Structure 1
């Protein structure tokens, strides 16, 4: 990891990256809204769509997204995702900015920006130490140089808020009412603990108190225009998205690997050339599709059951995939009318779920490591599809290949309103069937 001083820069891989705009958790601290601003060669935005923030969470290209909040180690952060290979050639710079509508940045302790690989490994970190009366801040920027990408620690503040910052880059604020009232997340704060920065693993989207971690609702995917079919591994360190300590009773038996990315257009068969061990625990298959076609089919060659065979309501979904019991590689048969991307992830990439409310759509995988809790499930689908929430739990990797309990099953219903009891973790919660938009609220039970 590289710690940057103000004005310094560092090369970054042309790969999917996550960016946290973080601060120390503390009561009464002004809320900070993270945003990304895409600039052309002239240093200006091309239109309102080139500003990505909580109220406009995805760029039309799908290459830049606001994916919500994360919390841990005394920190609270908002997360952005950049898929650098998919940034349009006309975009030369992507600013990472923050705005503070109910206070000033001098009141925000430990403001920082942190860039991580897709697997959560920290790439670079910049602490802002000179904030004062500013209400908007450009913390850093990604920029093209000689065909590659670099990240620079900028640290430039504005007393005129996000509107003033946007005006500097060519936005007519009067024509962009969305900028006048950015929805704020709950007041909280952020900074790395004394032992140094910690990668926040939880990402999500929630209008409730911090602690709810949620899914990227993806009409904001990273889909769109996958240039050529390829089968390749992301060039990142071989580390899981979360350490095995997240799931202590299972971690020793997990198969850990670097995320693998496969992309293409139309019908293709791809080979996942990984040495899966015998009776391996499931892994996570993340799917993203282009903006024209929702439906995706992914089937393991030689099996009658599908990993995906459904609409992705916001062009995104994650499902559990059981490797062959005998181990070895897998062949995936993909059927889709447009562009698609599959990302194979270790099971430790499950999104943490904690107290509070999270929102999202389609299929998703969560890990619960807390105490026993009540889970309120609300879901809505205008097309009256299935909704199924399953619980996976056990002490051996093989135990996780099938659900331990079906928590919610709704067939041909527009709305789901259920309240279920879940035991203490670690356990997996998987929305296994859904094209619904859903909301989950976790309420821990009092300790006896």
Structure 2
């Protein structure tokens, strides 16, 4: 189990999870939010007065000990939902008075996978304890610990739910209108399917979703916080990467060893990258940059070392991956793929920059082993991560340096590039529409091949696209312009009439009683 401190996060397996909200007299609630951080309607709030989401993906139940459980079936959460907030509240004093306030994520077999103990609660009566959010094709769990002194009404209002009877300043309005009934969905609500092979949970009221063993009793004393593992000390010659490395690995215990860590000066032990179950492919939500349904998702792999080396990564799923390399004291840097006979194949990096940093595309062969020959001077760090972890292109201008791999998931658009280097700028585009072979990318379309500083605007077709800056020796900027709504079959089923419109506030009155 991963014990997190406030603000910490980590990958969790994409399986049905039970979220236990611990603490006497504490109620749980869930908010399903879009990429804009608001609910789409009344149905996206799950609490005691409305204990089940219409899709069945989120349900609120009560344990035998009186605590609340949120059952969140991650594989069936709608693509339009980017985050699921886990909220705790009390109407008996404040959260500071709640002993042992904590939130814990538990797998279907009863194994805890993440926990956050709240130790700094104050005078608030409601708090976002944690959130589950999409990242790199999977899900991460973040310890939040953000409280609202205004209680659930204030928290709900800030996330797009308008509570009738109070204005934004908290002043009650006279003669509140009667509450509306929760609208029924326009589609049939499927019954949640049981997860085979798992022991059923004890029978709380209402009935729990099948497929969960009861969570183990809390073993952390009230108020105690397990100390997090100390970060490894950097080795000699270590540097801070210019950009964040690949996403943090999933908790150990799911066949997913933690990625090797350590300073650039001290080689880290080689570890195989283990596949992690990916979220099921489905229609993407407009404006949701993290949606990416192409290619498998696996635990990122990290290795550090010095000077020339041969790097072997076993256990990768076949197909395209992103290789990030940084060499802070470079003279010459080269990176080449080796085949099973140790013959050199594609050359990925050929640079004479003093400080090399870049992300490049590599293809893992069918046998699942990626071998790379690295030529470098001094300390280096190399990360291998899924294609889904690449940075998305947006309409906000972003700064880059060196080769990179970007993703475009929107509609027809123009890509504006401002390149400040002196050597070649080569940009390739891979169109993935209709390409179902995840073990290889389709043939690329070379859209830029120029030398020296220049500004370039390139037309892009509708996503999903991989945009590869194969060569770029200096700083550059990029952003999307004139982005059209997506119209392809991948998105037609889920796209609303106006995907950029903020959902209207939802009037609700008397939602947040404890119901005990």
TM-score by length of 1: 0.50
| More strand as a share of residues | 1
Rg larger for: 2
| More helix as a share of residues | 1
